[in-house]
Structure 1
């Protein structure tokens, strides 16, 4: 299996009650399912923050202006569509003032429409009980740092 590093970003979205938005995807090759924050690859000429804002708008319809400029590098090691993705991704945080802001799918590409099963605003205490794998697995340990950014803003 090929191993590659793809420059990519993720956005940890918090609602007004501290829940985190996760998207549930199904790998069309292995049929494995996973939960992960919105995000994706950085396009040529894009900064990581620009990519984070574009990806959030495309995958969720949420306001990309809610993303702060601060980011943390998170090491990723996951398999998707028969490719082993390894290396750092920049994780940003977004804070929303309402409870469970509505998420829409209109910005997704056709293949993403079929691979995205659902989304959910999940209480961090419930992350261990998800029915499928959580990506990245270290996400619960990262959340306190991201939440602290809201208090500093």
Structure 2
């Protein structure tokens, strides 16, 4: 049996809490939890560096300003300092109905993130695996980031 490094348990729990409370204003807090060369990957982006990662997350939260994560579970992997977080992202999409009236519908998709920690508890990388996002505005989300 592989024993997780329990000194990393608190950084993992802090990150899980951060994910669940994430919003545009909280994005700068990611810098306090991560290494400067933090890498981020999702099905549409792969970036290195805190600024680029924050831009991707900001775009997601700008497209869906009321989008929120709910973490269902998390666990340590077999590789040292690697954790997995199972989550859902809930968001609303406004649709025009009769006479220009708008109605919003709530959607969600689930995913798993692989998070690798440095020995000091800082996050080295965050890789998201997700799909099944029918109403997610992929065209807007996957546009190249401005430099």
TM-score normalised according to structure 1 size: 0.27
TM-score normalised according to structure 2 size: 0.28
**Larger Rg belongs to:** 2
